[in-house]
């Protein structure tokens, strides 16, 4: 095994895996295995109220049926709360984060960018959201597929929430802490998260954590124009369609799977994918229409 490559897949159980998540899982799996690296799995169960009952089990069962084997223990974010809380306390103590008591109504009308109302208000943290102060600086990186991408955090994002008012921890904070804790060197995921990446780079810098390489695969768009993103609800991927859907996912990633693979079992498709993986063939686009993949 190659310890200089550690990849991961990090599903959110607010729904079942859909074709878009299969494409992201496949890309991260093949990129890791082709490099002789490790491939970890992390359940991003940060938001129990939004969880679909049974989704965690269904996701694991789908991954297994589709032939994905992960290394080591499955990590659950519900077991990581003590670390998230400790980091938030440290950021608060350093004045890098602050409590925000703004209501949804007060936040409306700023184009989604927090106007900084509570920055120097000194609110108590209990029952308040915690926001991270962002600098008026651009955070930029070179994505392996999407190319250069940057955001001026102050102007384009604003101070963002790292713990919600209801006490739940925010994805942006948890993902950065967990990727570092698990030693992840390569983040391969859907392009819906491209514009989360500059926030994550800032957090890594602030916390002295290493910056992984990034590869964002195109997001799959439904015939009705619907994006297959985190919030998209669809039925579980059918077990009996594992072969055909893996083949379609390979092709969505630009991999030139031969017609002889039609009817092949998942293990054979994944083995072909590892042997022939060429990330430079992934379409350099943020979205792909599912209709063109059939």
**From the list 97, 175, 221, 257, which residue makes contact with ligand GLU (rule: CB under 6 A)?**
175
**From the list 18, 33, 133, 189, which residue makes contact with ligand GLU (rule: CB under 6 A)?**
189
Sheet holding 129-132, edge to edge: 97-100, 129-132, 160-163
Picked from ligand GLU, Zn ion, none, the partner binding residue 118 (CB below 5 to 8 A depending on kind) is Zn ion
Picked from ligand GLU, Zn ion, none, the partner binding residue 117 (CB below 5 to 8 A depending on kind) is Zn ion
Binding span for ligand GLU by CB under 6 A among 5-13, 57-65, 79-87, 266-274: 5-13
Q: How far apart are CA 260 and CA 138, in angstroms?
A: 48
Q: How far apart are CA 77 and CA 47, in angstroms?
A: 10
Q: Which residues bind Zn ion (CB under 5 A)?
A: 100, 102, 117-118
Q: Are 49 and 167 in contact (CB under 8 A)?
A: no
242 contributes a contact to ligand GLU by CB under 6 A: no
Closest to Zn ion by CB, 158 vs 198, is 158
CA–CA distances in Å: residue 242 to residues 190, 245, 270? 20, 5, 11
Q: How far apart are CA 183 and CA 258, in angstroms?
A: 35
10 contributes a contact to ligand GLU by CB under 6 A: yes
32 contributes a contact to ligand GLU by CB under 6 A: no
194 contributes a contact to ligand GLU by CB under 6 A: no
Strand residue runs (E) in the chain: 6-9, 38-43, 75-76, 97-100, 129-132, 138-143, 147-152, 160-163, 186-190, 213-217, 219-221, 287-289
Binding span for ligand GLU by CB under 6 A among 7-15, 47-55, 119-127, 208-216: 7-15
Picked from ligand GLU, Zn ion, none, the partner binding residue 219 (CB below 5 to 8 A depending on kind) is none
- Cα–Cα–Cα angle for 158, 161, 112, rounded to 5 degrees: 45
81 contributes a contact to ligand GLU by CB under 6 A: no
Q: Binding residues for ligand GLU, per CB under 6 A? A: 10-12, 44, 175, 189, 193, 230
């Amino acid at each position: 095994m190659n310890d200089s490559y550690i990849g991961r897949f990090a599903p959110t159980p607010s729904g079942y895996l859909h074709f878009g998540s299969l494409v992201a899982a496949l890309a991260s799996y093949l990129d890791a295995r082709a490099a002789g690296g490790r491939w970890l799995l992390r359940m991003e169960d940060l938001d129990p109220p939004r969880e679909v009952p049974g989704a965690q089990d269904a996701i694991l069962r789908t991954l297994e049926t589709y032939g994905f084997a992960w290394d080591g223990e499955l990590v659950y974010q519900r077991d990581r709360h003590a670390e998230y809380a400790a980091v938030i306390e440290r950021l608060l103590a350093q004045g890098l984060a602050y409590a925000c008591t703004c209501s949804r109504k007060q936040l409306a009308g700023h184009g989604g960018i927090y106007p900084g109302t509570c920055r120097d208000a000194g609110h108590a943290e209990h029952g308040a959201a915690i926001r991270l102060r962002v600098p008026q600086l651009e955070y930029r990186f070179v994505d392996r597929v999407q190319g250069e991408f940057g955001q001026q955090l102050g102007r384009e994002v604003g101070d963002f929430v790292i713990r919600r008012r209801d006490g739940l921890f925010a994805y942006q904070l948890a993902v950065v802490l967990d990727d570092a804790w698990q030693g992840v060197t390569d983040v391969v995921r859907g392009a819906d998260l491209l514009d989360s990446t500059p926030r994550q780079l800032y957090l890594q810098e602030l916390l002295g954590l290493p910056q992984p390489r990034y590869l964002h695969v195109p997001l799959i768009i439904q015939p009705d124009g619907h994006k297959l993103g985190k919030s998209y609800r669809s039925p579980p991927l059918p077990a009996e369609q594992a072969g055909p859907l893996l083949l379609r996912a390979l092709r969505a990633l630009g991999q030139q799977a031969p017609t002889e693979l039609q009817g092949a079992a998942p293990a054979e498709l994944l083995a072909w994918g590892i042997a022939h993986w060429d990330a430079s063939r992934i379409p350099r686009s943020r979205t792909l229409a599912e209709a063109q993949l059939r």
